[in-house]
Structure 1
Amino acid sequence: MERDSHASAIINGDSTSPTLVVIGGRDKNYQLVNECLLFDSIATGQYSCRKIPLPESVTGRYNHSLTAVTMSLHCVWLVIVGGCKEFQWKDVGGGKKVPWTIYITNTNRLIMIIELVYSEAGEWIVQSVLDANDLTSKNYQEKYQSYSKIRTWRMDQLIEYPTEREMKLQRYIQSLHEDLQVAHESKVSLQEALVEANKQVKGDDSNDILSNILEEMRQEQEKLIEEKQIITEDNEKLKLMVADIEEKQEQYLKEKQIIIDDNQNLKTDVSEKDKVIAKLASNEKQIVTDLKEKDLHIAKLLKERQERSKVTSSIGLQFNYLIPSMGKVVVSSGIVENMAYAGLVYYEEKRAEDLVTFAAAKDLNALLEFIKKDCSHAERGQNILFRFKNFDGYIELRLDAPQDEPFTGWSIKPHLKPCRFLRCDVDKFGEANYPLPSTCLISVYGSPGAVPSLHYSIPLDGVADPKTLFIHRSLRTTPSLTNPSSPSSSSNVVHESTSVPEANIFRSDIAHRVMTECTAMIKNCGINIHFLVDKLLEHKIINAREKRGITDGYTKQTAGERMDELLDIISSSISMEGEVFGIFLDILREEDTRRATALADKLMDKYKSI
């Protein structure tokens, strides 16, 4: 494959031919080449190419560096550093695009090490891949120290140090060479003196002087000959000693080679044992990790079991058995598997529209008890059993799925997008801080001229087995208590049973006092906080950000704390604008429960009495 911006390195093993390794890069279309190639025997020209599997965190890069470090006879570390992870053309306006490079900034990927070992099959294989976190681990430090000791030992074996006897012999030879140099200089000095004497001697005694000089020279020459003979004899002895040393050195080299071969065999055995030890250590680490995960899972399940016990005691029901329809429970090594959950659809009429609610819980009976207690007027619909596909997953209602039946003229709008239930939230129903089940509210309205019957399917995503909910509604043939198209359908609803002042005559100071003195009564009326929040958002009393802060299931606020926060916002709005008090009374009546209607009347009476 054509590529550029890749990185390569040569692996020079002690017992293997040079091997070229190539990692990453881009193709001619600027796309990442996520692969690693090995070219064996490149020095002979008869090379072969093969891929070795590496994670994308290693190969998914270009413009990076790569270095091969020989750690032992059969182990090489490939050190890969930096690079870019993505290339794209960025539109800078005016129809012009410029190349845009995204560098790798993840500290775990900046420096990575691939450990290659030479197998018995005669090829390089991947032993392990280490990222930045692994480089600080105790296992890596121990492995690096082990390889460092082996490298130091090998370097010591390659250095030949002279023996004490060899050093003495070298010093002796150097001394002889210095003596010969001194003798030669003395001979030259005598010859120069003789020439000078011949020049200076004149007259009758020249022969005597010359004779004396010649006698001295003869004696000096004899001494030199004797010294030369001694040096020659010493030189012969030295040659014999050198020959003996060379013979012993050859014997030493043979013995050294035998030791090296033995060490090589020993290293091979040690390397094989290191592989076995590394494999056992890896297996031990995996076993420890699995045991920790199982312990955490068991602890979580025990906690869930304790929480379920609290839920059943708070509701007043004793469940000492699992309902057969709730699915099979298998206990294996203390881990609960295949847990089934219950889902229920129920309907409530809200003026001109129907409010459809889908609720989910671990226990169908607890869910029915909640609906019976808090929504006694509701019409119960379809109920299902389902299982989460993933242990820490979620289910989601797909309201935009294709429909088999016509739904012309019908409006189906969820109160929350996406309509998603996290498993952890569903499990918390019944705890002290979670008195309400997980629900999704859907407003359904049939306009005049709509098809008479609505059969709307809603598939569930995130379940182990395919499940589909159905909304069944019929077009109303009689007018509702309040005509949605009339002016009374606005936020200022006028009921015949109670005389409500026009919204613009509510005094903000009196209304705020009523809200402050009746806070406990409002909190205990049982109004659905999600319904209240949606209506307040509709009338722009709160904004979307405030809604998320109150209804977000990930906050650590209790239901009571959320209601307190919402009532503070309402009271603050009423203190600034008295009309908000009238809107709040209308919302209570739209809840369409006796408790909420009675509360609205009491608040109105309280307002009139002040």
Structure 2
Amino acid sequence: MKKGYCGIISVHFDSEHYLVIIGGVGTSSMNTPKQPDAQYSAHVTNNTAVMFRGSTDNGRSNKLYMISFTKTSVDILEVPNPGGSVQWPEGRYAHSSVLITTSSGPHLLVVGGSPVYDVWLLDINKRKWKELINLPANVTNRYWYSLSVWSVIPTTNWIIEFGGATAYTGTAVIELRYTSDNDWSTSVIPLDQYQDQLRRRILSDWENLGTEKQLQIFQDCLQLQKERKFYEEQLQREIKEKEQIQQDREKEQQQLLQEKATLSQQLDDATTLLEQAEKDKSSLELEYNEKLKVKVAEILEEKTQVEEKKQIITEDYEKLKVKVTDLTELLEEKEEQYLKEKHIIIGTNNDSEEETIGDTPNDSSNGAGENSSGGGATPSTSTTPPHDSINDDPSQLVHEVESHTTDEQTIQQSDHVLSDSDGPTATVSCEQCPARNDDESSTDQSTTHSAASRDTLYSGMMYYDKKQAGHWKAMYSVVRDLEVLKRYFESEQGSSIEYDNVVDSFKFIEPNGTLKLTLHTVQEVGWTVNPDRKPMKLLQSRVDQFPLNPSYATCSMSVYAKPGIAKDSLHCPIELTGIDPDTIICINRSPPFSSSMRNSTSSSSSTASISQTRRETEEGTFRSDIAHRVMTECTGIIKEKVGLYPLIDRLVEKRMISDAEKGQIIDTSTGLTANQRMDELLSLVKASIREDGEDFGLFLEIIKQENTRRADRLALTLLDNYRRLV
């Protein structure tokens, strides 16, 4: 954009400054109306200016305008010319004007122009013109020139002219004074008297100020001097502080260099010690290897001796086996002979009884008595052979085996041979060897104990020991009596233990079984769960030793939450196997509150909120915002423990979702997975709970309708999380 003969002013609004170009001749990027030679003053206020018209397309103009600016618009107001006897300057162009500020308000001074040569003064507030007369031609007879104002004193302004297109182009100074009778006086100050007149005006103004005003000026000067002295002292202090800071920084740098040198020396010493330790380690390893070789040699020698003893025992065993075989054959012969003799005697007795009965039927008692006392030739009717008929008694056999070897292992092997042999030998061992009966009794007792151990009911409970902010020790203990566990930890740990309200009851599947805990992957951001030992297993035999050995009945895990990163609650599943029933427990923790969260709420308001929410919970109502947060945090555990289709039917029955919404979720044509369908369903439930907190209570009732311990634990977990957030 190029312009000539235009006006320019400064405006200020919205804490920003702008330059405004008015009128002129030349090209413009904006379609603004033509306004050549528009004359103006400086802004009357921050966003207001006054303009006295110049040359236009219709010729010279004497119109007066008040212009108001905003950031997006310009408001131009024309001041009407009343005409008649009211003074009003004629139309002109190439004139100049300045703004003069006095105690009576702002005024616009218009000087010269073509083709009229006069001077006019406008009272902007009153919209009245006044012509100033008695000014020489070198002041009024000018156009295309520069005009400026200088306020010498509050009542005196000097107007300075320079240049122009007429014969008068030199510098001229006009003095414009506002008199006490609300009038103006004008005079021309020659340039050679400029400095002298300036001193006179200042002294005159000083004299007119009076003693009180002069005293005020002196006091202001003193105050300025004091402030200057204060700022100079402050500057000196800042300079000294800066120097001190620089010195301290240099000292710190020196200290850091010294510490660096010390650390470097310590590092060198540590490296030397490490190298020496490696050498010592090598020496110890060599010494240990030598000792190990000696020990191996001793073990090999002992092994050789054991092999020799084993060979001797094997030979004795073969001899014993031959002896037992011979004894077995002898016993078979003796038994066969005994049976033959018994058969002959039994036949003879039968014949004698028949004769007695046939000859003397009335003396049966006597015959019987004779038979009873008939000389003891009749043997016993027992199937067990008499001891005097067998020369080799089994107990004597055992003593004979013991006489051949004194090694305990050999005795056990001989017993094994006797008990496991076939035929009559096995019969003798079962009836005559008490050691075999004891083994069978022990086996029966072991079987009874195993059955009892399988029927024993155990209790498992999760509890937490808070170490510090964002760090817990999560522990799962298994005991027979849960109250014993609680009393033990109350006495050992005090009040730092936080118990879980969920207690698991189960039995071990196998006798002296093993409970295995499998930790699932942590899904929540900012949380870490690390087992204190791997694998996490609890043996039934060691669990039974509680409280003598408490660590045998407990698996512990370290839980960490990163402050500011862990924002969601932790629900880490742990699968329990090796028990009946199998179950899944959870580590449930809430992220630690940051200092900003703790400071945002006063203690009194928090106490009031907790009390109010507890009353609401006892009355059966729930806050929708807290209930919605619980549902959001526990979405994962709900999806793990609740089936999709039974939950849909119960939600429709309770009118928490509609039949149409049910149809959309179970529609197989959508291609959604079961997990995605559950997400859609829980989104509807959470939306319903956000609208009405009572729906959270309905949802808890729906979960409990499954009528399982798993469902009861889930409902209790949701309710505990709600109370915790309250």
Q: Same fold (TM over 0.5)?
A: no
* Largest Rg, 1 or 2: 2
- Higher normalized contact order (CA 8 Å, seq sep 6+, divided by chain length): 1
**Normalised TM-score (structure 2):** 0.23
| Bigger proportion of residues as helix | 2
**Normalised TM-score (structure 1):** 0.27
